[in-house]
Amino acid sequence: MRSYLPDYPVINPTSLDEALEVLAAKSNIKPLAGGTDIMVYMDTGVFPASTLLNLYSIQDFSKTPEFSDGHLKLNPLSTYQHARTDQAIVNAFPLLAIAAKEISVLAVQSRATWIGNVANASPAADGVPALMAYDAMLKLSSKDGQREVPLHQFYQGYKQMDLQPNELITEIQLPPLDPGWKDYYRKVGTRRFQAISKTLLAGRIKLNEGRVIEDIRLVFASVAPYTLRAVQTESVLRSRPLTPEIIDEAAQAIQDEISPIDDIRSTETYRRQVTTNLIRDFLNSNLTK
């Protein structure tokens, strides 16, 4: 049964201050930007009645990402299309461009926002792993002020976030990248496009001249209740030479860190095996370079 539209009144603030006043004064408020997920939920009747806060009416918010001196700031209305078409972003943060191509179809990519993907808190999100691999920082704003939270510390459980009811995510900040890193992004789904991931790995690795792993990021989707940065497996690899033996250790370590489930898209057994395959593929691709 579809949702009943009168159950979803819309508030249209014209400034960020006005939006934060609404969040502070009212309960059961749902911020709305691109709305690509909300429309699906409403169509299936699983979206609870609530008041929608229309972020598109806020004049303070820009759609255009801000890129300067290596820093990237994604604003509340910055869409996946921006990451695909802005060549400066494509060159500096290629994982964002790759992830953007995995999000549904062009019509959705032109509407869906990066911040919306973060706030939706889906364990199968395509964009969040790329952001997390780049050490993204979130700026959270409320009537009482602002605070920053690293994206890899933002999720606390299934659909649970370090976000108070009176707060909005108003920026995603990506720091400048050091040279020498190699990026990797691989999504496994039922189809090549327009499929929710069965498992996904966004990885980055930095090796020194002696093939020692100076630093590494391993971020997975669909293998835990939330987007998972595999910090324990990273610690197994960090500061050690990249060898077939250490790859074997990492393949074993990741099994202790993930917690996949059986669902309509896949099985726990499949996800465990493919996750092992992904981490081996990523590390082996850098073994002889």
**DSSP letter string over 100-155?**
HHTSS-HHHHTT-BHHHHHHHT-TT-SHHHHHHHTT-EEEEEETTEEEEEEGGGTE
Instruction: Please tell me the distance from the alpha carbon of residue 152 to that of residue 187, in angstroms, as a whole number.
Output: 19
What confidence score (pLDDT) does residue 289 get?
A: 60
Average pLDDT over residues 80-87: 89
pLDDT digit string (tens) for 175-193?
Answer: 999 999 999 999 998 766 6
- pTM given for the model: 0.94
Average pLDDT over residues 218-226: 97
What confidence score (pLDDT) does residue 62 get?
A: 85
Mean pLDDT (the chain, rounded): 92
What confidence score (pLDDT) does residue 129 get?
A: 98
* Predicted confidence band of residue 226 (pLDDT cuts 50, 70, 90): very high
Q: Which amino acid is at 274?
A: V
What confidence score (pLDDT) does residue 193 get?
A: 64
What confidence score (pLDDT) does residue 258 get?
A: 98
Based on the number of CB atoms within 10 Å of its own CB, is 285 exposed (0-12), middle (13-18) or buried (19 or more)?
middle
143 Cβ contact partners less than 8 Å away, ≥ 6 residues apart: 20, 21, 23, 24, 166
**Six-digit token string for 271:** 């996800």
What confidence score (pLDDT) does residue 2 get?
A: 75
42 φ/ψ angles, rounded to the nearest 5 degrees: -70, -35
What confidence score (pLDDT) does residue 211 get?
A: 93
Model confidence at 7: pLDDT above 90: no
Classify residue 263 by its DSSP letter: -
Q: Which of 58, 60, 49, 99 is nearest to 79 (CA)?
A: 99
Domains and CATH numbers, the chain: 5-57 (3.30.43), 66-174 (3.30.465.10), 181-284 (3.30.390.50)
Percent above pLDDT 70 for the chain: 98
Which residue did the predictor score with more confidence, 203 or 8?
203
What confidence score (pLDDT) does residue 288 get?
A: 75
SS3 of 169-223: EEEEEECCCCCCEEEEEEEEECCCCCCCEEEEEEEEEEECCCCEEEEEEEEEECC
* Predicted confidence band of residue 77 (pLDDT cuts 50, 70, 90): very high
**Six-digit token string for 237:** 């690899």
pLDDT digit string (tens) for 20-39?
Answer: 999 999 999 999 998 888 87
pLDDT digit string (tens) for 227-255?
Answer: 999 999 999 999 999 999 999 999 999 99
pLDDT digit string (tens) for 115-135?
Answer: 999 999 999 999 999 999 999
Model confidence at 91: pLDDT above 70: yes
